[in-house]
Amino acid sequence: MKRYGIWIILACALIGALIGAYGALLIVREAGDLTIRVLVVGQGDAIVIRTPDHQTILIDGGPDDATHRELSRRLPLFDKTIDLLILTHPHADHVRGFIPLLQRFNVRRVGISGRTHTSGEYEAFDTSVRQRGISQEPVWQGKKLVLGKDLSLDILAPLRDERTITDDDLNNSSVVGILTFRSHKILLMGDAGEPVEKELMRRDLLSDVDVLKVGHHGSRYASSAEFLKQVSPETAIISLGAGNDYGHPHKEALDRLTAAQAKVYRTDINGTVTIRMRDSILDIRAQK
């Protein structure tokens, strides 16, 4: 029996060493890198950003528990902290996945668009944030979130003066921002559509970007030709679920992206899309 006990102790020690080595490998591998992953969460959005100093930022939570599973796979084993969580707008396919995350992760700050919703999913999210005493802050046009050395998220929308947006679609209240790391730029559109695109162009808030996270899952009502000409993305990423009920991505949007000469990745076909940035290098890879 003593011999078996020794073997069990040795096996546990080996497993512990392997786990420690794996965590250390992840940290070393991503040291100095900015890593952005557009996760596979079905018909919804979830983007996880891992900064060079190992902060974790999560933009949207997807429609279910898939985001929690993806984060558990992608983050170092014992890292259960989300430094900043941003809800672009309170629709279920962006907020529902936050509810289990708030129970299982230590969330330090929450950024919100300021628009609320009467849905059960949004109310459960709001209640959970308040019960945990998590700091909430509105992220509106003009706000600059400094996320690290040479790393910032400039908020372009929602606009403080929403009279210019004529419809009451919550999609057009989405948090829109440009993530800048040194010379690289990624435009994150949430579910914002053409009314927001037009207003951002009118206010001269847009510039050339390297990567566009396409608005509203590739809807025909987003990514207009004029907007794409203005931002001129080399790469476009669409987050959506296979065989979704909305017909996303719509052919019209795909045709406009093709005409703009953007290389298109889709999470329903390509799986998780990973963007890594270091110094002047920008590397984009997909699971498939």
> How far is it, in rounded angstroms, from Cα 215 to Cα 157?
13
Do 52 and 116 reside in the same domain of the chain?
yes
Give the residue-averaged pLDDT of 179-190.
Answer: 96
Do 100 and 149 reside in the same domain of the chain?
yes
User: Is the CA virtual torsion 80, 54, 177, 283 positive or negative?
Assistant: negative
Q: Are 27 and 14 a contacting pair, CB within 8 Å?
A: no
Q: What does the pLDDT read at residue 22?
A: 45
Do 128 and 183 reside in the same domain of the chain?
yes
Do 89 and 48 reside in the same domain of the chain?
yes
The CATH number of the domain where 64 resides is what? 3.60.15.10
Q: Are 234 and 257 a contacting pair, CB within 8 Å?
A: no
Q: How many domains does the chain have?
A: 2
Q: How far is CA 50 from CA 11, 57, 231, in A?
A: 32, 7, 24
Do 161 and 25 reside in the same domain of the chain?
no
Do 24 and 38 reside in the same domain of the chain?
no
> How far is it, in rounded angstroms, from Cα 146 to Cα 179?
10
Domain hosting 11: range is: 1-30
Do 146 and 171 reside in the same domain of the chain?
yes
> How far is it, in rounded angstroms, from Cα 26 to Cα 190?
29
Which one, of 261, 258, 201, 255, lies nearest residue 234 by Cα?
Answer: 261
86-136 tens-digit pLDDT: 999 999 999 999 999 999 999 999 999 988 898 999 999 999 999 999 999
142-174 tens-digit pLDDT: 999 999 999 999 999 998 765 445 456 899 999
The pTM for the full model equals 0.87
User: Does the structure show a pLDDT above 50 at 179?
Assistant: yes
Cα 168 to the chain's mean position, in Å? 24
Do 64 and 176 reside in the same domain of the chain?
yes
Do 26 and 46 reside in the same domain of the chain?
no
